[in-house]
Amino acid sequence: MENRRSKRNPAAKPNSKDRISDLPEVIIQRILSSLEDTKFAARTSVLSKRWKNLWTSVSDLRFNTLYYSSPRSFEKFLLYALLRHHQNYEVRSLDLSIHYDDGHDTEQASSSDFDEVGLRDWALKYAIRHGVRFVSLRHRDDCRQFSAPLSALSGCGTLETLTLANFDISGLSSACFPFVTSLRIEDCDFRCFDVTESNFPNLSTFYLSGLGFNGAYDDSIGSVIEISGSKLVYLKIEGIDCDMVKLKLSAPNLQVLEYRESSGDGDFGWLCHFLDINLPSLQRANVLVYHGHYYQTDKLEEMLMKFFFGVRNAVSLTVCASSLEDLMEAGLLEHKTSPFSNLKSLKLLVEKEKRIGKNRGSPGAVEEIKSYLVSGTPLLQNVHVVIEERYWWEV
């Protein structure tokens, strides 16, 4: 009877093997590092004796207030985790998100007892001392008055990838990030802002989303943002405050440009004012600009044609038909030649929900827009054309 029980319950054997503990240490650390929050890594330490302190040597530190019951519990664990972290191990990445859902601990978060800036800076300094290469910092949506810790970040000689969300980044132009190759800026405010070879000399990938202007605005010149760099190969721009921002793009080796504008409700789309576009090596352009009727037709023609001319070297083009429908209905595409002379692939996105206008979304309208876009390509060059129907929220 006793032997039968032992067979049914291997854990009852005094010499049963702990298979978890037999995993190589590097695999255990990778498992712990991949969890959504370092708090969960600490909790899993009870799974095995060997795991007990391994969480203190994880290379990826993640702290997100959404996984904590209160600001106080978040602060307490973050301080505990950094104090327990093994001093001889590197910190490969730091992902710090301080934000709250509507109505969740908002008053507590605003309390003077919760020093989120102090916590952020302490965690960042610790990570920098331990050779951090990837940093992601996110504040609450209503905290853009906090300036990004640019001085500390620019002084990090190991930093390669940087994400900033919900900050004031006005000092970015005067800071220098010599080793950063990937930059992501989301929902930030600025007064002065450029990303060029002088402050990001090795930047290859740049994602810019939800940028807002918070300075004194001169309507005659607007707020000009320059994005340039000889090593930049991928650029994505979306959700820019188009009424306040004008852009200059110059990237001789850029391969991919993705540009998307939508208000989010599908009713309107905006196209930024591009003062200058110089992209001689462009291979792929995704231009997702929606309903151009936000502008007067002549203004839309001026802005859209200028933008198309700037990305004219693209070999592959994806574009929304709706951005050209107003020009087509006004007869402004007739007898015009497209600036695209290198096209080999064209994807034309057509909305499933038809908009106001007798020709919108009709096969004839789509065919006319397609004919215009390929009209600049030599006749002997075959352009692969795909017409794809989507709802606006699928684009």
Q: Report the pLDDT value the prediction gives residue 229, as an integer from 0 to 100.
A: 97
Average pLDDT for 142-166? 88
Q: Which of 62-76, 159-173, 208-222, 314-328 has the lowest mean pLDDT?
A: 208-222
User: How many other CB atoms sit within 10 Å of the CB of residue 220?
Assistant: 5
Average pLDDT for 305-320? 94
Q: Which residue has the tokens 């309107």?
A: 268
* pLDDT value at 72 more than 60: yes
**Chain centroid to CA 24:** 35
Our separate counts of H helices and E strands in the chain read 10, 17
CA angle 376, 379, 381 (to 5 degrees): 90
* Residue 124 to residue 56: CA distance in whole angstroms: 17
Instruction: Please tell me which residue, 130 or 22, carries the higher pLDDT value.
Output: 130
Q: Are 269 and 289 in contact (CB under 8 A)?
A: yes
Average pLDDT for 181-201? 91
Average pLDDT for 328-346? 87
Q: Report the pLDDT value the prediction gives residue 261, as an integer from 0 to 100.
A: 76
Across 71-98, b (16+ Cβ under 10 Å) vs e yields beebbebbeebbeebeeeeebbbbbbbb
* Residue 347 to residue 322: CA distance in whole angstroms: 13
Burial zone of 227 (CB within 10 Å; 0-12 exposed, 13-18 middle, 19+ buried):
buried
**Chain-wide mean pLDDT for the chain?**
82
Q: Are 374 and 343 in contact (CB under 8 A)?
A: yes
Instruction: Please tell me which residue, 189 or 20, carries the higher pLDDT value.
Output: 189
pLDDT bin (cut points 50, 70, 90) of residue 99 is confident
* pLDDT value at 20 more than 50: yes
At residue 82, what are phi and psi to the nearest 5 degrees? Answer: -70, -35
Q: Are 164 and 188 in contact (CB under 8 A)?
A: yes
**Percent of the residues in the chain that have a pLDDT greater than 90, as a whole number:** 47
Q: Report the pLDDT value the prediction gives residue 356, as an integer from 0 to 100.
A: 45
Instruction: Please tell me which residue, 314 or 297, carries the higher pLDDT value.
Output: 314
